[in-house]
Amino acid sequence: MADTAYDLIVVGGGPGGYVSAIRASQLGLKTALVEAQHLGGICLNWGCIPTKALLKSAEMWHSLQRLDEFGLAADNIRFDLDKIVKRSRGVSAQMMGGVKHLLKKNKVTVIDGWAKLNGPGKLNVEKDGKAVGSFTAKHIILATGARARELPGLEADGKLIWTYREALVPDVMPKSLLVVGSGAIGIEFASFFNTLGADVTVVEVMDRVLPVEDAEISALAHKSFTKHGMKIHVKTTVTKLERGKDSVTATLDHGDGKTSQITTDRVIMAVGITGNVEDIGLETTGIKADRGHIAVDGYAQTGVPGLYAIGDVAGPPWLAHKASHEGIVCVEKIAGVKDVHPFATTNIPGCTYCSPQVASVGMTEAVAVDKGYKVRVGRFPLLANGKAIALGEPDGLIKTVFDDKTGELLGAHMIGAEVTEMIQGYTIARSLETTEAELIHTVFPHPTVSESMHESVLDSLNRAIHF
Amino acid sequence: MPITITMPALSPTMTEGRIARWFKAEGEEVIAGDVLAEIETDKATMEIEAIDDGILGKILIPGETDGVAVNTPIALILEEGEDVSSMDGFTANAPVVAVAGTAAESSPAPTASAPVAADPAPVATPVPTSGQRIIASPLARRIAADSGLDLALVKGSGPRGRIVKADVLGAQGTAKSAPAIPAAPATPVVIPPTSVEPTEIPLTNMRKTIAKRLVAAKQDIPHIYLTIECELDALLALRKQVNERRPDTKVSVNDFIVKASALALKQVPAVNASWTDTAVIQYNTVDISIAVAIEGGLITPIVRNADLKGLAAISAEVKELAGRAKESKLMPEEYQGGGFSISNLGMFGIKEFSAIINPPQSAILAVGAGEQRPVVKNGALSIATVMSCTMSCDHRVVDGALGAQWLAAFKGYIEDPLGMLL
C-alpha cells in the first residue's frame, strides 16, 4: 500500500499544479500530485506549446511565400498538414516527458487518476471506475484547470464544429473556416489556418478584435489581419450553426437587426473557457463555484482551511504563467516562507502568437484614464526600427503608458515582430517599479527590435530620436 | 599587510558618502599628503589624503559610487616591500584594519596610516544614527520625493526590505515627515459656547508630525530662554547701501540674521551641537534651519555652510528654498538635519516670543520685529531701531552663560554688521 498521508496534495498536473508540487517538495513538504490525463495539462498538451509548434510551421510557410523578396527562390513549395500536426504532437510529448522527469527528480509522488474531495483534507482517487485509494493531506491545492466554454445551441461536435482540441489535430485542411471569438485562442487558430491558405472569417461580439488589448493595438491587429486576407466581423454574434454534410452554415447577427449567413467547411468555437469545478467533490467542503470558478484570496486560499485553488479554475487571467506563479505564492505561504507577497494580477504579461504578434503588460491607455491617471503615452512604430525593416517585418507599434505625475510605467502594449519575447523587459520594469527615467538611462542593444521599446519611452516625453 | 583605507566620517552626522573620484590609479605611488580621492557627503565635498608613503594597491570601491557607508574599506595601500599578493583575499568586505582618521592609534597595524579629511579634521565623535543606505524602488523614491516623505521613516515590504510604491502610499497615510519647529506656543482649544455645532477639521499628516515632534521636544528638552535686544540702525543703513549697490539681490534683514547666527556659531561652536545619551555631538559645519510657514504648517529648509557663504548667496538660497518649501518641493535632505534654527515672526509685528527647540538641535533663535524704541544712551533718551531676540537652549548642552556668550557674539555682528563682511 502506498503512502496515503501527505503534507500537500495538488489536484491537476498542468502548469499551475506541477509547478506548485515541485516548489512544495523543494520546501520540504511531502507532496503528491493527482493527474487524470496527462502531466503538463492543457498548456503542454493542448494549448500553449502545441499551438506554438503549429504557428512556427505557419510562419515558415509564410516566409516561403516571400522568398523572392529576400532574393531566394524555390520550386514546388508545399506543406503536409499531417506532418505539421505530427511535429506539434511530438513537441508536446517531449515536454510531457520532461515534466514527468522533473516531478520524479523532485520526489513528488504522482497519482494517476481522478481526484475527488471527500471533505476537507481528504481525497478519493479513482481510475476507470476503480478506486485507486483514499488520501489525506494537510493542504490540498485544486489546480483542475478549465475547458472551452460552450454556448447553448452552438456546441462543438468535434467533427465540423471544433474546439481548440480538434483544431490542434485537424484531419483535413479546411478551405474555409469560421472562428467564433477573437481572443488569444481564436486569433491564433485564425492566424494559423489563414496563413496556410484557408479562407478565414472571424466573428467577435465586442467592438474589436483581441478585446483585452489596448484599443490602438487592436486596431492595428485588425488592419494587419485583413491585409493578410482574414475577414473580421466585430459587434457580431453567431445565433445559429447548421451542420451540413461537410460544411456548417452560420447565421450572424450584426446588430441593428441585420443578419447574414456564411457557410464554411469548419467552425472553431473560441468563446472563452470555464473552470473545471464539476465532479471534484467541491460540495463536500462547503465551497460553491461562482460562474465556473473558485473564488480565492491573494494566497489562493478558498476560505476552507487547508483548501486552495490556483490557475484557470481560480479565475482570470487564464494564462499558464499566472497559474504557475499563483501556485508558487500559495505553496510558499503554506510552507511559511518569509516575506511572501499576495499574488497580484497587475504585472502579468499576455502574449498572442498571431502574425504579427501581440504582447502587453499592465493597463491599457483607456483603463489608466478610467482609473483617473493623467497619462503620458509614448508610441514608436517598427517602421522606424532598422532591425524590423531588415527582418522584413516593419508592421508594428510599441506603445507605453506612463503616469504623468510619478513617471510610473502603467502599461506597455506591443504589436509586431518578436514582441512576445520582448514584453518581459517592460514586465521587469514594472516589477522593479522603474520610472521612465531608469528606462531612458538603460542602454538597449543595437540593432534589435527592442530598441523601439526605448524609443517608445523617449517618445512619451517627445524625445524619440528616430521618429 | 596592506593598509586599508576606509570611508572616513567627515562630519559627526555622516553615515555614508559618495566616492566622487580617485586621483590615483591602482599601482600608482603615493606620498604622504597626496590627495587620494574626493569624497562627497550630504554636506560637502572633501579630499582624503595619504598619510604614509606607499603604493595604491587596490581600489575596492570605484569612483562615482554613491552611498558608501562610513568605515567601509575603499582602498588598500601597499607599504614598501609588500607585493600585490599580500592583498589576496581583500575585498570590499575585508576586515577593517584602519578606521579612517579616528581609529588610527588603536589600529593593530604598526604603521597603519589613515586618510585624513583635508577640511575639517576628523573628529572623534560618534555618529548619532546608523543611517544605512535606503533601498527603495525608483518609483517609491519619486513618489516620496514629490510628497516630501522621508524614506527613512518608511518600512519596506519588498524583497529584503526594499521600499516599494505601496509602502510609500501606505506611509503617506500615517507618517508624513515635516520636521517642524514652533512659531508660537500652541493655544489651548477652546470651543466657544454656541448652539452651532463646531467644525471638525481632520488632522493632516503634517499637523500630526508637528504635534508629535513639538510635544516630544517640549517634554524631553529642558528649555531655557535668553532674550537680548539688538539695535538695527547700523544694519539697516548697511542693508540700504548693499541693496542700492545690487538692486537685483534685495538682501533682507533676515539674511543678515542668518549670516550673523552662522558667524556666532563659528565663534561659539559649543552651541552648534546635539545631546545624545552618550555624548554631546558638536557639528563642524554650520547648517542653519530656517522656519518657513507653509500651507497647513511649517517646514525648516536648511542653509548649509552658512558661515562660508556671502550675504547675497544666503539671500538667494533662502528665497529659493522658501519658494520651493511653499510648493512642497523640497527634497528630504534639504530640510532634515541642521545644527541651529531661526524662527522670525518680525514681519508679523511680533515683538518677541519663545520658540520650541527643533530636535536634535540644541538652540533656536526667535526673532521679533525691529521697531523704533526709546533707548537711554549715555544718560540721554534717544530713539533706536531695536529687535528683540530670544534664544531657546537645551540646558543639557547649552548652559545659560554659554547661551549668553553666543547671544553676545550674535549681537556684536548685528550691531556692527561690517564685521560680518570681513
Let me know if residue A154 belongs to a domain. Answer: no
Cα A402 to Cα A410: distance, rounded to the nearest angstrom: 5
Same domain, residue pair A226 and A77:
no
Task: Give me the residue from B138, B143, B164 closest to A437, CB to CB.
Answer: B138
Q: Shortest CA distance to A357 belongs to which of A234, A230, A454, A224?
A: A224
Q: Is residue A453 part of a domain?
A: yes
Contact indicator for B338, B357 with CB cutoff of 8 Å: no
Query: At which residue does the C-alpha cell 572616513 appear?
Result: B8
C-alpha span between B86 and B408 (Å, rounded) = 58
- Counting one residue from chain A and one from chain B, the pairs whose CB atoms sit within 8 A come to 29
pLDDT band at B100 (very low <50, low <70, confident <90, very high): very low
pLDDT grade, residue B89 (50/70/90)? low
Pick the residue from chain A with its C-alpha nearest to B144.
A406
Residue A351 lies inside a defined structural domain of this protein = no
The confidence score (pLDDT) of residue B33 equals 76
Q: Do A280 and A140 share a domain, yes or no?
A: yes
Name the residue facing A339 among B140, B146, B159 (closest C-beta): B159
Give the residue with greater pLDDT, B183 vs B18.
Answer: B18
Same domain as A261, residue A173: yes
Of A243, A271, A299, the residue that ends a domain is A271
Classify residue A156: in a domain, yes or no.
no
Question: Between B24 and B98, whose confidence is greater?
Answer: B24
CB A74 within 8 A of CB A65: no
Q: State whether residue A403 is helix, strand or coil.
A: strand
AA letter at A50? P
Q: Do A432 and B165 touch (CB under 8 A)?
A: no
Task: Give contacts of B165 with chain A, Cβ < 8 Å.
Answer: 408, 433
User: Domain check: are A258 and A284 in the same one?
Assistant: no
Q: pLDDT 10s per residue in chain A (467 long)?
A: 458 999 999 999 999 999 999 999 999 999 999 999 999 999 999 999 999 999 999 999 999 999 999 999 999 999 999 999 999 999 999 999 999 999 999 999 999 999 999 998 999 999 999 999 999 999 999 999 999 999 999 999 999 999 999 999 999 999 999 999 999 999 999 999 999 999 999 999 999 999 999 999 999 999 999 999 999 999 999 999 999 999 999 999 998 889 999 999 999 999 999 999 999 999 999 888 888 899 999 999 998 999 999 999 999 999 999 999 999 999 999 999 988 989 888 899 999 999 999 999 999 999 999 999 999 999 999 999 999 999 999 999 999 999 999 999 999 999 999 999 999 999 999 999 999 999 999 999 999 999 999 999 999 999 999 98
Cβ within 8 Å, pair B157-A341: yes
Helix (H) or strand (E) holding A388, with range, is helix A386-391
Q: Classify the C-alpha dihedral A130-A132-A138-A139 as positive or negative.
A: negative
- How many distinct structural domains can be found in chain A? 3
Same domain flag for A137 and A11 = yes
- Give the range of the structural domain holding residue A336, as residue numbers without chain letter: 5-146+274-345
A138 and A11 together in one domain: yes
Does residue B391 have a pLDDT over 70? yes
Cis geometry, peptide bond prior to residue B359 (ω within 30 degrees of 0):
no
Query: What is the 3-state secondary structure of A283-350?
Result: HHHCCCCECCECCCCCCCECCCCCEEECHHHHCCCCCHHHHHHHHHHHHHHHCCCCCCCCCCHHHCCE
Q: Whole-model pTM?
A: 0.60
- Same domain for A13 and A142, yes or no, is yes
- With 70 as the cut, is the pLDDT of residue B180 above it? no
Residue listed under C-alpha cell 456564411 = A262
Residue of A nearest to B160 (CA): A339
Can you tell me the mean pLDDT for B276-299?
A: 90
Q: Which of A341, A407, A432 sits opposite B142 (nearest CB)?
A: A407
Q: How much of chain B exceeds pLDDT 70, in percent?
A: 80
Of A250, A271, A292, the last residue of a domain is A271
Q: What is the CA radius of gyration of chain B?
A: 25
Handedness of CA A79, A85, A90, A96 (dihedral sign): positive
Whether the Cβ atoms of residue A107 and residue A98 lie closer than 8 Å to each other: no
- Classify residue A151: in a domain, yes or no: no
Residue range B90-109: mean pLDDT, rounded: 40
Question: Residue A267, SS3?
Answer: strand
Give me the residue spans of the domains in chain B: 3-117, 138-203, 207-421
Where is A105: in which H helix or E strand? helix A81-105
For domain B3-117, give its CATH number from 3.40.50.280, 1.10.3720.10, 2.40.50.100, 2.40.30.10.
2.40.50.100
- Does A350 map to a domain? no
Residues of A in contact with B139 (CB under 8 A): 406-408, 433-435
Mutate to test the interface with A, among B135, B139, B162, B165 (most CBs of A within 10 A): B139
Q: Based on the domain organization, do A11 and A140 belong to the same domain?
A: yes
Question: If residue A231 lies in a helix (H) or strand (E), which one and from where to where?
Answer: strand A231-233
Residue A155 forms part of a structural domain: no
- Residue B47 CA neighbour count, 13 Å, CB half: 11
What pLDDT, in 10s, does the model give residues B256-273? 999 999 999 999 999 999
List chain A residues with CB under 8 Å of B164. Answer: 433
Tell me which of A219, A243, A271 is where a domain ends: A271
Q: How many CA atoms lie within 13 A of A23 on its CB side?
A: 22
pLDDT at A364: 97
**Position with higher pLDDT, B391 vs B241:** B391
- For an interface test with B, which of A347, A376, A433 has the most B Cβ atoms less than 10 Å from its Cβ? A433
Are A367 and A454 found together in one domain?
yes
Judging contacts by C-beta atoms under 8 Å, the chain B residues touching residue A436 are none
Instruction: Name the DSSP letter for residue A443.
Output: P
Q: Pick from B142, B159, B164: which is nearest to A406 by CB?
A: B142
Name the average pLDDT for chain B: 80
Q: Which chain B residues touch A if contact means CB-CB below 8 Å?
A: 137-140, 142-143, 146, 157, 159, 164-165
**Which long-range contacts link B384-387 to residues 24+ away (Cβ below 8 Å)?**
B384/B231, B384/B232, B384/B233, B385/B231, B385/B232, B385/B233, B385/B236, B386/B229, B386/B230, B386/B231, B386/B232, B387/B229, B387/B230, B387/B231, B387/B232, B387/B253, B387/B346, B387/B414
Hey, of B64, B142, B151, B162, which one would you mutate to test binding to chain A, going by the most A CBs within 10 A of its CB?
Answer: B142
Query: Is residue B122 over pLDDT 70?
Result: no
Do A264 and A284 sit in the same domain of this protein? no
Residue range B380-399: mean pLDDT, rounded = 93
pLDDT in tens, A283-304: 999 888 888 899 999 999 998 9
Asked if residue A467 belongs to a domain, the reply is no
Give the CATH number of the domain where residue A402 resides.
3.30.390.30
Mean per-residue pLDDT, B275-304 = 90
Rg of chain A over CA atoms, in angstroms? 23
Question: Do A11 and A141 fall into the same domain?
Answer: yes
What digits encode the pLDDT tens for the residues A143-169? 999 999 999 999 999 999 999 999 999
Chain B: residue whose CA lies nearest to A435: B139
Q: Is A446 a catalytic residue?
A: yes
CATH (domain of A184):
3.50.50.60
C-alpha cell, B112: 597603519
Is B146–A405 a contact, with Cβ atoms under 8 angstroms apart?
A: yes
Identify whether residues A294 and A169 lie together within a single domain: no
Closest chain A residue to B140 measured between Cα atoms?
Answer: A433
Contact present, A222 and A358 (Cβ < 8 Å) = no
Please choose, from the candidates A356, A408, A461, A312, the residue with its C-alpha nearest in 3D space to the C-alpha of residue A55.
A356
* List of chain B residues whose C-beta atoms are within 8 Å of the C-beta of residue A437: 138, 142
The domain over range B207-421 is classified in CATH as 3.30.559.10? yes
Sequence-distant (≥ 6) Cβ neighbours of residue A218 within 8 angstroms: A208, A209, A210, A211
The pLDDT score that the predictor gives to residue B116 is 39
Nearest to B139 among A339, A341, A433 (CB): A433
The x, y and z cell numbers of residue A229, run together, are 486576407
